[in-house]
């Protein structure tokens, strides 16, 4: 993937590279709340050059950003959220699950992430430290369609 094409703000292209996205990708954001990392979120949106779609939008997307905290629910709830996140996901596209880092309130254990991903038909492949407080795990379909 090349980062030579710039979004509205090429200074934020490191966000694109870290999440293996491309300028112009259509991203749906789920689980947004006041505790998210706005610097990361807004920087990624600016670099992509596209506004994120919301939970209400129903068009195909290249990736989903799913913010999840421990108090959002247990492993079964996370599994349901991952399955729901596939509604608009293009075939073989990925979900980036964003959880608070281990040092932060609301941290979700890697074991819980792996279990929920497996049940939902995904596998965890890559982890990216997107900010001081949040960690992103890339979840890809376990079986290609």
Query: Is residue 128 scored above 50 in pLDDT?
Result: yes
| pLDDT tens for each residue of 52-66 | 999 999 999 999 999
Question: Using CA atoms, how far apart are residues 105 and 73, in angstroms rounded to an integer?
Answer: 14
Of residues 139 and 144, more confidently modeled = 139
pLDDT of residue 9: 53
Question: Using CA atoms, how far apart are residues 141 and 145, in angstroms rounded to an integer?
Answer: 8
Residue 10 confidence class, pLDDT cut points 50, 70, 90: low
| pLDDT tens for each residue of 69-102 | 999 999 999 999 999 999 999 988 999 999 999 9
What is the DSSP code string of 15-53? Answer: HHHHTT--TT--EEEES--TTS-HHHHHHHHHHHTSPPB
What is the DSSP code string of 48-103? Answer: HTSPPB-TT--S-EEEEEEE--GGG--HHHHHHHHHHHTTTEEEEEEEEEEEE-TT
pLDDT of residue 92: 80
131's tokens: 């900010």
- What letter does residue 34 receive in the DSSP assignment? T
Question: Using CA atoms, how far apart are residues 51 and 140, in angstroms rounded to an integer?
Answer: 23
| pLDDT tens for each residue of 17-36 | 889 999 999 999 999 999 99
Question: Using CA atoms, how far apart are residues 13 and 62, in angstroms rounded to an integer?
Answer: 17
């Amino acid at each position: 993937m090349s980062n030579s094409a710039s979004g509205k703000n090429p200074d934020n292209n490191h966000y694109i590279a870290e999440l293996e996205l491309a300028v112009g990708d259509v991203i749906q954001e789920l689980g947004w709340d006041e505790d998210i990392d706005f610097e990361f979120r807004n920087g990624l949106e600016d670099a992509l050059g596209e506004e994120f779609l919301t939970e209400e939008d129903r068009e195909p997307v290249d990736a989903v950003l799913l913010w999840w905290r421990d108090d959002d629910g247990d492993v079964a709830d996370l599994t349901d959220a991952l399955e729901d996140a596939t509604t608009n996901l293009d075939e073989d596209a990925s979900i980036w699950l964003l959880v608070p880092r281990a040092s932060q309130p609301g941290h979700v254990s890697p074991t819980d992430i792996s279990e929920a991903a497996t049940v939902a038909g995904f596998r965890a492949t890559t982890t990216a430290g997107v900010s001081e407080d949040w960690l992103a795990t890339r979840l890809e379909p376990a079986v290609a369609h």
